[in-house]
Amino acid sequence: MLNAIKKWIYVQFVHRFGQYWTEPAFIQSAALLQKMLGLARFNYFGIKILAGPVAYLDRMIISQREMNPLVTKACAQYLKDGGVFLDIGANHGVLSLLAAKNPLVTVFAFEPSSRELQRFFKNLQLNPCNNINILSYGLSDTEHYQELAIYSELNPGMNSLPELIHSKKIEVCHFTALPDLLSHAIFQKTRVCKIDVEGQELFVLHALKPLLHQLKNCVFIIEVTPSFLEKINLSASSIYDFFKSAGFQFQFGDKQKLFQWDEVFYHPDHVAPLEFMQ
């Protein structure tokens, strides 16, 4: 009963005032509501997820909007008969849990932030399954410990390097290269790899370069943020060039006028393009 009341309050609040989400009055009101009531449990496209009115991604859950339609459609298309889904930058685990609805799919989810991992594990408790593996690592091209800037709860998906975002909250996290964590057999079964790491995409990809011949049946969905890449002397073109050199094609193209976009890369000799209608 209490959860139903919280859900009703949050749905009404987001629907009525959600367009003012950048306004200080909205932020303060949302924070007060969430502090008083806590998170509510929502049914979201067949899974149960905790959400409140503060975070942008939580408000998408409350409003029942698709969080990342490219990833969910890729999982439906390429993982319908099973395989491995790599969720790199898993945040609260929503996309991992959606993919894991198919019992033939094995999920490897990577998330270094203890704040986000705490919510991920709570969401996992609401959706008992044995096909999700959560690894509390950040991914890079070498093994090391480094600082991670923990962004405001308004957008917990923006955690990144301190050079890329400003935050008073810093956490030292364990980073390593993906090939040091997973076997060749797992890479051979990988069909979808989502990388959303706020400017660190090329570090993850460079570690995978020697294994790309094993990943030609995999579709990569990469979040591209030019302004982040430029701060570390890289560019969006660097990501496109990386895949081009390995024989992969992109599906949508460089959208330099946008702050951020998702791109799909696939190997045309092994995989059909994503069937996606905007």
Domains of the chain: 2-62 (no CATH), 69-266 (3.40.50.150)
Q: Which of 145, 248, 140, 147 is nearest to 199 (CA)?
A: 140
pLDDT per residue rounded down to tens, the chain (278 residues): 899 999 999 999 999 998 888 889 999 999 999 999 999 999 999 999 999 999 999 999 999 999 999 999 999 999 999 999 999 999 999 999 999 999 999 999 999 999 999 999 999 999 999 999 999 999 999 999 999 999 999 899 899 989 989 899 999 999 999 999 999 999 999 999 999 999 999 999 999 999 999 999 999 999 999 999 999 999 999 999 999 999 999 998 866 678 899 999 999 999 999 997 55
Note whether 87 and 96 are within 8 A (CB): yes
Note whether 83 and 191 are within 8 A (CB): yes
